[in-house]
Amino acid sequence: MDAAPPPVPTDRLQARVVGYWVISDGLGALFLGALLWFVARPLLQEHWTGWSQTYENLLLGACLGFAALALLLPPLTYARWRYGFLGDLLLLRYGILFVEERAVPVRRMQHVDLLRGPIERLFGLATLIVFTAGNEGSAFRVPGLSLARAQELRDRIVQMRGDGRL
């Protein structure tokens, strides 16, 4: 007898999270590329006698690769992210190559935070951070929520934790 497949969460992140991720990942790629190009490249040229145009092209390719990933990964990540409640379980499903599925009972949740960085605020987004009891993955994030939805989820978790039902 086959076991029933696990429930798949159906709620999606806000679509504007893709723009937020492109900008934040793009800034990270820009910083890493600049670090490679303006710091590592001169040091390698100075201290490595075998430095050639081929290595310079490889370094440039790596910088462009970081930029390409910053543009390609956010839409794929958005397409794979799902979350939702099933009774007292918060279900999460995310990942591109390695898909992670979590079912976190509300009774294991210790506290809930909302995070809104400057770029998130520009996009009207918030990240829900949930801390759980235990060591492995004792905190997880649900990014790309509207502020109202993040507050609603936070309040729902707090209400479920505080009313003694669990």
Is the confidence at residue 150, as pLDDT, over 90? yes
Find the helix or strand (DSSP H, E) in which 58 lies.
Answer: helix 53-80
CA 9 to chain centre: 17
Q: How confident is the model at residue 165 (pLDDT cuts 50, 70, 90)?
A: very low
CA atoms within 13 A on the CB side of 137: 9
Domains with residue ranges and CATH for the chain: 17-78 (no CATH), 83-162 (2.30.29)
Q: Bigger pLDDT: 3 or 37?
A: 37
Output the pLDDT for position 100. 92
Residue 36 has pLDDT above 90, yes or no: no
Whether pLDDT at 136 is above 80: no
| CA atoms of 55 and 45, how far apart (whole Å) | 10
CA 157, 126, 69: angle at the middle one, nearest 5? 125
Q: Is the pLDDT of residue 46 over 50?
A: yes
Most confident of 29-33, 58-62, 126-130: 126-130
CA distances from 84 to 45, 81, 90, 103 (A): 52, 11, 6, 10
Lowest-pLDDT range of 12-16, 33-37, 42-46, 73-77: 42-46
The per-residue pLDDT for range 94-132, each reduced to its tens digit, is 999 999 998 888 888 888 999 999 999 999 999 999 998
When the pLDDT of each residue in the chain is averaged and rounded to a whole number, the result is: 88
Give the Cα separation of 110 and 116 in Å (integer).
Answer: 20
